[in-house]
Amino acid sequence: MAAAVEVLMSNTNVKETILNATDFTSLHRIISEGQDTYGMLSFDQCLFDLYQAGIISHEEALAQASQRDNLLLRIRGVGA
């Protein structure tokens, strides 16, 4: 068993999105793009890291993914 987490760091972009958005789909993009700059981590990025480290299986990573197709592409080496 392993913990998979999502990390959201507060910044101006995050605050504006939360305050002004009627739908929060853009928040996922903000988290994914904020990994290097702000230390954010999406749930699927965490699953990928756990898979790469051999902590969880390929099947388990895909079963738990919030965006399964994107995670599958990343596992196959497509995308960042």
CA atoms within 13 A on the CB side of 22: 0
Asked if residue 6 belongs to a domain, the reply is no
The answer to the question of residue 65 being in a domain is: yes
The answer to whether position 2 is within a domain reads no
What does pTM read for this prediction? Answer: 0.84
- Is residue 7 in a domain? no
Q: Which residues contact 35 (CB under 8 A, 6 or more apart)?
A: 41, 42, 45
Determine the Cα–Cα distance for residues 72 and 80; give it in Å rounded to an integer.
12
User: How confident is the model over 28-80, as pLDDT tens digits?
Assistant: 889 988 989 999 999 999 999 999 999 999 999 999 999 999 999 999 999 75
